[in-house]
Amino acid sequence: MPLKLGHLGLIGLSLSAATLLGLQVRAEPTRVTFPRNIDDLVHYTTVTRGDVVEHMLTSREAIQAAQNGQPMPDGTQIILADYRNDKIYRYFVMEKGPGWGDDYDARRRTGDWQFQWYWPDGSINTQENTMRCQSCHQSRAEQNYMFTYRDLMNFNLSEVKP
């Protein structure tokens, strides 16, 4: 989807400048940060869709908490690492923080989880509105807003090194 601002010639403006001007932009920074310590995370399942291979990762602590019936800790990131031809193409990230749900009205809220789409260089996809991520993931409220929750619950942590 093209930026709506295109015809105003504002494309070169930074997001924050556009926000200061009170303009409606599609791209939006959220509180989510680029995947950290990705090599320390547990790869708990893989979803393959044609040429797209999605590795789902999160922390051992988050998996343990869920399997013990506890909420995942604040600071948890759940990452969908999307590979095409064995090369990383993009990262979809959900991250949880204290009171983060308050940033949104109830219709949009996904608990305290926020979403973001990152390119591998750490920039966000400026064409995306993360409201779309939330509205689809809202349907999974009973499963921690996740689609692969069952895989996470069934993952055997003893398969990976502590």
Q: Which residues bind ligand HEC (CB under 6 A)?
A: 47, 49, 54, 56, 78-80, 92-94, 115-117, 128, 130, 132-133, 136-137, 146-148
CB of 47 to ligand HEC, least distance (A): 4
* Minimum CB–partner distance for residue 109 and ligand HEC (Å): 15
Nearest by Cα to 154 from 40, 77, 41, 44: 44
For residues 18 and 148, which CB has a smaller minimum distance to ligand HEC in the complex? 148
Q: Which is nearer to ligand HEC, 62 or 93 (CB)?
A: 93
Nearest-approach distance from CB 8 to ligand HEC, in angstroms: 25
Are the CB atoms for 77 and 87 separated by under 8 Å? Answer: no
Q: How many CB atoms lie within 10 A of CB 148?
A: 20
Neighbour count for residue 142 (Cβ, 10 Å): 7
Q: Report which of 98, 79, 77, 74 is spatially closest to residue 90, judged by C-alpha positions.
A: 79
